[in-house]
Amino acid sequence: MAPRTRKSAASSSPATDTNGDAPPSLPPQDDTGAVVDVDALLAPAPGEEREEVKVNNASATDMKHACDDALKRYLSRPDLFKQIHTHTDVRLALGWLSVLVAGATGLYGWRVPFEQSKPGVWAGVIVYIILTVAQTLYAYFVEGDIVFVGKRKTFDKRIVTERITVTSRTTPSTPTSPPGYSLGLAYVRSAAGGKTLLGKGRAEEARPYTDFFDERGVMDQVRLERWIASIVSRVMDGKAQ
Amino acid sequence: MFADELKTLRRLGVRHVLLQVLNFTSVLASGLMIWKGLGLLTNTESPIVVVLSGSMEPAFYRGDLLFLTNPTDQRYQVGDITVYKIPGADIPIVHRVLETHDFVSKNKGLVAAAPVVDKQLLLTKGDNNHIDDIELYQGLEWLERKHIVGKVRGFLPYIGYVTIAMNDFPQLKYALLGGLGLLALVQRE
């Protein structure tokens, strides 16, 4: 899209359209001096094939999951971030290990007569309890509300690593407002394997679910992506604090 | 009917499918571990049993749920309601203790380490039966402690009919399991 020239506030052409993703005339610069055209990177691809996403718009959980999935799909685009699956992998590993321990204990208790099997079954139950407690503590303290962790490496003069962590919550509805989707972003840009901090940014914003879902429950993915793009570009432009 | 869910699953990838299957299997695993843990705490291999026959009426009717424990520090006494299993019989039987014969250790000057170290022989009878259980012992004259699964501590009426129904109609069991599985696979927490 051609950059919009900014007219003075007094005159406004009736043909000005109000969509917000046209890049400003000057792309932002980071402190390495290179020009990073973040907004062009983040603009949703216009002709992209999208599957229709339809959820039950009475369930805030379903809507949150749909927004989270759209966010992950959007941020995992080839030229944007690469998702780091550590939290999911830890959860899967602990979970499947506990299921295997439970299965093995059950099988052992079934095959061996009760009195003989008691020490083995005690061991199995205790290991299972430890694994379940570990899973719960990890999910509560370490993972929390995080839905996406992404990394990006770019080369200009030196290897620049960017890392973004996205958390999302549902803000409860009040008598005057519908339930909302609250997104929190934490962004770090570093070089030389994480030793030099180039930039850091943090943002949090909430929008009601009614902005993204219509009365049938169909999600307006382009609108969601534009909103995410605006927050991400704001966060990525931040200088080192 | 499940086209939307299947489309979502295909789009979300392997990790997501693994997570959903984990949801289902971890429900089963936690149920199993709770059962085994309860068995260890009560010192019996089946802490909860269902009454199948009417031989203990009017105390217990068919379909009642019974809660058992097997205390190591107490002897069984006349009047206790026990569940026992004869080797060679498939189902355990719940009847009342009619007679007990306790053996006292012959070693003079030595004290038994626990009340249950000395052997105990038991004879049982169902409240609603006319004769005692000698016929059911399959050749044994007395029950020994090792045959006893546990002693009844409490009961809940009627709940056991769910288990009886699932045993008599296995399709019900598979339908329930299948329904639970489907629900766990497509629902996200």
Nearest CA in chain A to B3: A54
Would the pLDDT of A80 be above 80? yes
pLDDT tens-digit series, residues B51-92: 998 999 899 999 999 999 998 888 888 999 999 999 888 889
Mean pLDDT score, B156-182: 91
* The pLDDT value given to residue B151: 94
* The pLDDT value given to residue A25: 44
**B55 catalytic per annotation:** yes
Residues of B in contact with A99 (CB under 8 A): 22, 25-26, 29
**B95 catalytic per annotation:** yes
* The pLDDT value given to residue A33: 38
Q: How does B21-52 read in b/e, with b if 16+ C-beta sit within 10 Å?
A: bbbbbbebbeebbeebbebbebbbbbbbbbbb
Residue B151 C-alpha from the chain's centroid: 11
Compute φ and ψ for A51, nearest 5 degrees: -80, 145
Half-sphere exposure of B25 (CA within 13 A, CB side): 17
* The pLDDT value given to residue A51: 77
* The pLDDT value given to residue A4: 43
Alpha-carbon gap: B37 to the closest alpha carbon of chain A (Å): 6
Nearest CA in chain A to B187: A62
Element (H, E) at A94: helix A86-111
Nearest to A106 among B11, B26, B32 (CB): B32
**B133 catalytic per annotation:** yes
pLDDT tens-digit series, residues A14-55: 444 444 444 444 444 444 434 456 666 666 655 566 778 888
Cut 0.90: pTM above it: no
Question: A128 and B33: CB-CB below 8 Å?
Answer: yes
d(CA B6, CA B22): 17
Which of B4, B80, B127, B133 is labelled catalytic? B133
B17 touches chain A (CB under 8 A): no
Mean pLDDT score, A150-161: 85
Would the pLDDT of A113 be above 70? yes
Compute φ and ψ for A167, nearest 5 degrees: -115, 150
* The pLDDT value given to residue B10: 73
Q: Is B104 helix (H, G, I), strand (E, B) or coil?
A: coil
ipTM: 0.83
